[in-house]
């Protein structure tokens, strides 16, 4: 009750201090406010859509599950964005309804399997347990020799998709020792397992016949179709999901651009590198037009170019190098696996990307991000800049501390020198004082010796005077 009569400045001094500090801080300019509003608006649909993910945490389970499935569909291209996943499913529907259904079933049951196995909820929400499932479902439908709408194919699709989290978890326990992702290794293992287990001559689940090349391809450079050659770039991006429709590939490019322009640029660049590599190795034009030389290079270029490495111009060149290496490796693996009636799948991408991620170098311009910090290239780059800034501050602080220590050492040395000089001067003064005392003592001694005969002479004179007086007294008495 007593405080109510006091002025407000005495009631809450801390609040007044905060208000004064806030008033002293410079207000953001119009440009800064506009930039902040723009970035906030973009974050609602670009990047990993973090505000949308936080909003989804409060929704009911089926809506969350749909979000996880969409993110899983996009995670094949290292994109954690449900809007991108929705566009990707739109592209799959444009390509083939049956393939799109199998892809959705594969993603759904892979995610449900991860929930049953109680895997990391954050990883499930990010779609990291769904992307292998969509590839398994799609490629099982693509390589099936029964054609579309063979409903019995959903049974092995569901089973193999539910095996994806198990294989992913097993491989993650190995790769985590080197802080490496599992990529699409579970998809490669499970699809090859299914195709080897069934084969071309199977009553229930026959596969398309894949045979090695047995004759020299007829390549006439004059007959090359430049339009199809350029069209092979979006087709190569579409072949990541097994699609050969250029419009589907174009939709995939749009989905990548919405989430991350850097990812989109490296996807196009990787597909172009695959096309050039196919021409350099005299591959059949049909394979190049079909995008078979591009899809592994797309994934390799994205993975190295800003996803698992912080993007610098050195990393950009490294990503292009990895794409070329992946194209050569893809040709070698395709030739080897065709002898067993198997496709190359994404083995070339996995092997080349893992090789380049194990690279060791002395330069700090090729910085491999910790796996727990990997999000999308733009955010990875901001994290790298933040680390650089922090390192510069620490370095400056360390140099300042070293300079202060050196200055202190110099000052201490000067003080010690002054103390030593002062000590020497004091010693000299003490030595001079001791010498002076000795000389004074000798002088006193000589003066005492000089005074002794005078005293003795005086004593003899006094005795003679007394003796004379006594003689005079005796003589007077006698008279």
Convert the pLDDT of each residue in 78-94 to its tens digit. 999 999 999 999 999 99
Closest to 101 in 3D by CA, of 150, 34, 56: 150
pLDDT of residue 449: 52
DSSP state of 34: H
Helix 261-280 × helix 295-302 angle, to 10°: 140
Closest to 269 in 3D by CA, of 332, 317, 227: 317
Ranges in the chain, pLDDT < 50: 1-11, 448, 451-455, 465, 467, 471-479
pLDDT of residue 447: 54
Helix (H, G, I), strand (E, B) or coil at 368: strand
Closest to 326 in 3D by CA, of 363, 306, 353: 353
Query: Do residues 344 and 330 make contact, with C-beta atoms less than 8 angstroms apart?
Result: yes
pLDDT of residue 8: 44
pLDDT of residue 73: 96
Q: How many beta carbons lie within 10 A of that of residue 18, not counting itself?
A: 11
pLDDT of residue 470: 52
DSSP state of 3: G
Say which residue the tokens 């090859």 belong to.
192
Closest to 262 in 3D by CA, of 445, 10, 47, 32: 47
What's the CA gap between 386 and 403, in Å, rounded? 26
Could you tell me if residue 148 is left (phi over 0), alpha (psi between -120 and 50 degrees) or otherwise beta? beta
Query: Do residues 100 and 89 make contact, with C-beta atoms less than 8 angstroms apart?
Result: yes
In Å, the largest CA–CA distance within the chain is 188
Closest to 266 in 3D by CA, of 299, 230, 229, 243: 299
pLDDT of residue 284: 92
Helix (H, G, I), strand (E, B) or coil at 358: coil
Closest to 343 in 3D by CA, of 195, 198, 158: 195
Alpha helix ranges (H) inside 184-225: 185-198
Q: Which residues of 21-59 are buried (b: 16+ CB within 10 A; e: fewer)?
A: eeeeeeeeeeeeeeeeeeeeeeeeebbbbeeebeebeee
Tally of CA atoms within 13 A in the half-sphere of 15 that contains its CB: 5
How many helices and strands, by DSSP H and E, does the chain display?
A: 19, 0
In the numeric block, which tokens belong to residue 354?
A: 């893992």
Tally of CA atoms within 13 A in the half-sphere of 216 that contains its CB: 3
What's the CA gap between 73 and 241, in Å, rounded? 10
Contacts of 348 (CB under 8 A, 6+ apart): 296, 300, 326, 327, 329, 330, 333
pLDDT of residue 231: 95
What's the CA gap between 228 and 246, in Å, rounded? 10
DSSP state of 208: -
What's the CA gap between 94 and 245, in Å, rounded? 8
Contacts of 239 (CB under 8 A, 6+ apart): 249, 290, 291, 292, 294, 295
Could you tell me if residue 26 is left (phi over 0), alpha (psi between -120 and 50 degrees) or otherwise beta? beta
Based on its alpha-carbon atoms, the radius of gyration of the chain, rounded to whole angstroms, reads 46
């Amino acid at each position: 009750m007593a405080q109510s009569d006091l002025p407000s400045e005495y009631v809450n001094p801390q609040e007044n201090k905060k208000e004064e500090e806030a008033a002293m801080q410079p207000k953001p300019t119009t440009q800064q406010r506009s930039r902040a509003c723009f970035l906030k608006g973009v974050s609602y649909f670009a990047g990993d859509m973090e505000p949308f993910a936080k909003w989804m945490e409060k929704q009911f389970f089926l809506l969350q599950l749909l979000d996880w499935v969409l993110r899983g569909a996009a995670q094949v291209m290292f994109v954690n964005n449900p809007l991108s996943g929705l566009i990707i499913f739109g592209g799959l529907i444009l390509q083939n309804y049956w393939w799109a259904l199998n892809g959705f079933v594969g993603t759904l049951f892979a995610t449900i399997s991860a929930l049953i196995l109680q895997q990391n909820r954050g990883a499930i929400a990010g779609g990291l347990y769904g992307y292998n499932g969509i590839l398994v479902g799609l490629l099982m439908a693509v390589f099936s020799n029964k054609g579309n709408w063979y409903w019995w194919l959903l049974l092995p699709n569901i089973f193999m998709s539910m095996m994806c989290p198990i294989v992913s978890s097993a491989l993650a326990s190995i790769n985590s020792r080197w802080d490496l992702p599992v990529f699409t290794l579970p998809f490669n293992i499970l699809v090859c397992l299914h195709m080897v287990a069934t084969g071309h001559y199977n009553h229930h689940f026959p596969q398309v016949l894949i045979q090695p090349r047995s004759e020299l391809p007829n390549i006439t450079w004059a007959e090359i179709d430049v339009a199809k050659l350029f069209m092979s770039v979006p087709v190569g991006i579409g072949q990541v999901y097994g699609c050969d429709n250029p419009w589907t590939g174009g939709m995939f490019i749009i989905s990548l651009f919405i989430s991350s322009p850097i990812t989109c640029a490296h996807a196009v660049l990787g597909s172009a590198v695959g096309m050039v590599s196919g021409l350099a190795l005299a591959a059949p034009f049909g394979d190049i037009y079909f995008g078979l030389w591009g899809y592994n290079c797309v994934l390799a270029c994205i993975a190295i170019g800003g996803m698992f490495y912080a993007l610098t111009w050195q990393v950009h060149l490294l990503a292009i190098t990895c794409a070329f290496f992946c194209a050569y490796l893809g040709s070698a693996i395709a030739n080897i696996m065709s002898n067993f009636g198997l496709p190359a799948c994404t083995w070339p991408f996995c092997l080349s990307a893992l090789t380049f991620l194990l690279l060791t170098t002395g330069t700090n311009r090729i910085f491999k991000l910790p796996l727990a910090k990997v999000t999308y290239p733009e955010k990875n780059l901001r994290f790298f800049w933040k680390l650089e800034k922090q390192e510069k501050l620490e370095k400056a602080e360390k140099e300042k501390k070293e300079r202060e220590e050196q200055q202190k050492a110099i000052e201490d040395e000067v003080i010690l020198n002054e103390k030593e000089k002062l000590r020497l001067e004091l010693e000299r003064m003490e030595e001079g004082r001791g010498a002076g005392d000795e000389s004074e003592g000798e002088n006193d001694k000589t003066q005492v010796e000089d005074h002794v005969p005078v005293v003795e002479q005086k004593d003899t004179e006094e005795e003679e005077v007394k003796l004379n007086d006594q003689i005079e007294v005796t003589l007077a008495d006698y008279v």
